[in-house]
């Protein structure tokens, strides 16, 4: 099998070699992909409407957000789009939490961009990283746990070209009942069985590290039942590992070499948790990867995240709103990304911020540092301000002048609704809040899997004053203090304790 992996790497090598060469001259590489994308733009109905004729007029293409082109996004049964001359393969829903979902058109060229990114990443891992010997891989699988009529990608391998999916298919952990699963407990049970029976598992590719934490906890709690149910499918040794009171996950997967997951911003401590559980495994952070486009790739050789500069054209807005090209970026500076890609998005403000850490082969390496929009994201739920305002407006909180939804990371991830009026039925508010938040499919998914716990409510007339004084003591000016309806960073432990104490004193 090791020989097959090495032969597979030879298939990947031409793509990786071209990419590494592109990193040597980012200005030229970006110019080439800009020219390709501009040709699509000129041939699209959208491009004809904008009315420019030359790439020298690129700056006249408007910088847009999704709502600017929402009406141009064709219905998902339509195979054409005003945004691109290419045929639409399918529409994929983004992770946003607006009442109206964002649907991104996928063309053959856009899917090929994801395919190229994967080839470069896999080549780097095989060449510079882990010495894989079995190739057994679990790609994140998402069951349809809601009644949504939208057929979304369920397996990350579906982003790849068909030839690569065919090659990889024998190595993937498979859940035979995935299309019929509608219950979170059933999904965890089936996934736990699939992983436990994959004794030669070498790679786990997920998104939020809490997803794996939830599955590991499920295995820990249900290990006796799982050992019994799998009696005829696993060895006696693996049964004994499951039945042991001192159960260690790494004992089940001694071949495990790589866990790929988010490891920045709010996911950092949970990624460290996985590192503690699997001390001999490479826990590698994901690159900046969105439904709209692949943007950066983690490369061991680069010791950082390099932009997918031969598939996506990048522009960057600095804090003053000035636009820069990739080769113009400065080490130590922060920028907001604007992308143009092969699926019909041109000068699209995706809402991600990056920090330039260093250069690799003349190309700046970009570390994701957060979102520019007012979004809270503990485990991948991506609640945004507009959606949360709508939710709070539906709650019986007419006599509350202070409402703030706050993410809490410890002891378990959940949301805390802070109110200044105690004359409310807290339990009723909790139930309605959770129900309304679950209109966001990603929040619902996180709740069903147990990545997010039931929200809590804390009510005290002292809450606004406590928060104000805490912010002042942290260096904020009184006049600059504003109380957010949605806080996008997890609450500080000290402030959390002060608020909880005020709630106790109020009862």
Structure confidence at residue 146 (pLDDT)? 55
Residue 249's pLDDT is what?
Answer: 86
Alpha-helical (H) ranges within 84-208 are 108-128, 162-168, 184-196
In sequence order, the 6+-apart residues with CB closer than 8 A to the CB of 151 are: 90
How much is the pTM?
0.83
What pLDDT shows up at residue 504?
65
Q: Which residues of 290-315 are buried (b: 16+ CB within 10 A; e: fewer)?
A: bbbbbbbbbbeebebbbbbbbbbbbb
| Residues paired with residue 337 on neighbouring β-strands, in sequence order | 316
pLDDT confidence of residue 478: 47
Three-state SS at 486:
strand
Give the integer Cα–Cα distance in Å for 263 and 287.
10
Residue 400, φ and ψ in degrees, nearest 5: -100, 120
How far from chain centre, in Å, is Cα 394? Answer: 28
243-258: burial string, b at 16+ Cβ within 10 Å, e else: eeeeeebeebbeebbb
CB 191 within 8 A of CB 246: no
Q: Report whether 243 contacts 224 (CB < 8 A).
A: yes
What per-residue confidence (pLDDT) applies to 98? 41
Low-confidence spans in the chain with pLDDT less than 70: 74-78, 95-101, 142-155, 474-482, 503-507
Enter the tokens of residue 140. Answer: 């994140």
The domain locations on the chain are 1-128+296-372, 133-256, 375-506
Q: Tell me: cis bond preceding 411? Omega within 30 of 0 counts.
A: yes
């Amino acid at each position: 099998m090791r020989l097959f992996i090495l032969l597979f790497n030879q298939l990947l090598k031409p793509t990786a070699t071209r990419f590494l060469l592109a990193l040597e001259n980012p200005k030229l590489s970006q110019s080439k992909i800009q020219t390709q994308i501009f040709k699509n733009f000129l041939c699209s109905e959208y491009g004809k409407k904008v009315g420019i004729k030359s790439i020298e007029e690129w700056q006249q293409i408007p910088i847009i957000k999704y709502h600017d082109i929402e009406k141009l996004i064709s219905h998902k049964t339509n195979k054409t789009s005003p945004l691109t001359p290419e045929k639409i393969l399918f529409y994929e829903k983004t992770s946003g939490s607006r009442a109206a979902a964002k649907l991104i058109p996928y063309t053959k060229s856009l899917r090929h961009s994801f395919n190229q990114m994967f080839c470069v990443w896999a080549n780097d891992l095989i060449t510079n990283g882990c010495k894989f010997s079995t190739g057994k891989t679990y790609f994140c699988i998402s069951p349809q746990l809601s009644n949504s009529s939208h057929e979304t990608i369920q397996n990350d391998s579906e982003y790849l070209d068909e030839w690569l999916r065919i090659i990889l298919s024998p190595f993937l952990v498979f859940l035979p009942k995935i299309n019929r699963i509608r219950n979170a407990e059933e999904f965890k049970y089936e996934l736990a069985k699939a992983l436990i029976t994959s004794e030669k598992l070498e790679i786990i590719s997920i998104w939020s590290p809490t997803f794996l934490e939830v599955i590991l906890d499920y295995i820990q709690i249900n290990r006796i039942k799982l050992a019994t149910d799998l009696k005829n499918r696993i060895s006696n040794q693996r049964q004994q590992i499951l039945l042991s009171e001192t159960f260690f996950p790494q004992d089940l997967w001694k071949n495990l070499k790589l866990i790929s997951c988010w490891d920045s911003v709010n996911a950092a401590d949970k990624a460290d948790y996985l590192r503690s559980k699997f001390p001999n495994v490479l826990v590698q952070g994901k690159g900046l990867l969105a439904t709209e486009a692949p943007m950066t790739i983690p490369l061991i050789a680069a010791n950082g995240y390099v932009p997918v500069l031969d598939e996506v054209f990048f522009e960057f807005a600095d804090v003053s709103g000035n636009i820069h090209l990739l080769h113009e970026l400065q080490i130590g500076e922060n920028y907001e990304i604007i992308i143009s890609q092969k699926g019909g998005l041109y000068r699209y403000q995706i809402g991600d911020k990056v920090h330039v850490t260093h250069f690799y082969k003349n190309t700046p390496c970009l570390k994701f540092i957060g979102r520019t929009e007012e979004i809270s994201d503990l485990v991948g739920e991506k609640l945004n301000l507009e959606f949360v305002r709508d939710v709070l407006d539906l709650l019986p909180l007419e006599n509350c002048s202070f409402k703030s939804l706050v993410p809490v990371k410890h002891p378990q991830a959940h949301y805390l609704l802070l109110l200044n009026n105690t004359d409310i039925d807290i339990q009723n508010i909790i139930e309605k809040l959770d129900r309304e938040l679950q209109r966001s499919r990603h929040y619902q998914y996180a709740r069903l899997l147990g990545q997010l716990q039931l929200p809590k409510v804390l009510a005290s007339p002292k809450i606004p004053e406590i928060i104000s004084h805490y912010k002042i003591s942290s260096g904020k000016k009184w006049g600059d203090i504003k109380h957010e309806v949605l806080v996008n960073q997890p609450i500080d432990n000290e402030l959390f304790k002060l608020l909880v104490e005020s709630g106790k004193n109020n009862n």
